[in-house]
Amino acid sequence: MCEDEAWYLIVMDRETDRPLAFSHFRFDMDYGEEVLYCYELQLEIECRQQGLGRFMLQALELMAFTAQMSKVVLTVFKHNTSAVTFFNKCK
């Protein structure tokens, strides 16, 4: 996470100055294609199912396309069914 290539998208609570969500991502190569690779997307439990995760993915997508990357890529464990459901809904 301390690599020079690592980037972070962090959502902070204005009132408490507490982080609510973050994404660790990199501009990378995936099978010869330039992509934005999302390594982490984590939200506090109280922030889930309110559209914040989808908004963060849209922000990553916008950054990727602005940087002329071909796509956003991520991996998720199959046993993490709530994450699989979330990412499938986001397409």
Query: 16 — alpha (psi -120 to 50), left (phi > 0) or beta?
Result: alpha
Sign of CA pseudo-dihedral 14, 19, 21, 26: positive
Residue-level pLDDT at 1: 64
- According to DSSP, the β-strands at 19-30 and 7-12 are antiparallel
In the chain, the domains with their CATH numbers are 7-90 (3.40.630.30)
Q: Report pTM.
A: 0.87
Tens digit of each residue's pLDDT, the chain (91 residues):
677 789 999 999 999 999 999 999 999 999 999 999 999 999 999 999 999 999 999 999 999 999 999 899 999 999 999 999 999 898 7
φ and ψ of 78, to 5 deg: -60, -30
Residue-level pLDDT at 17: 95
Structure tokens at 3: 């690599």
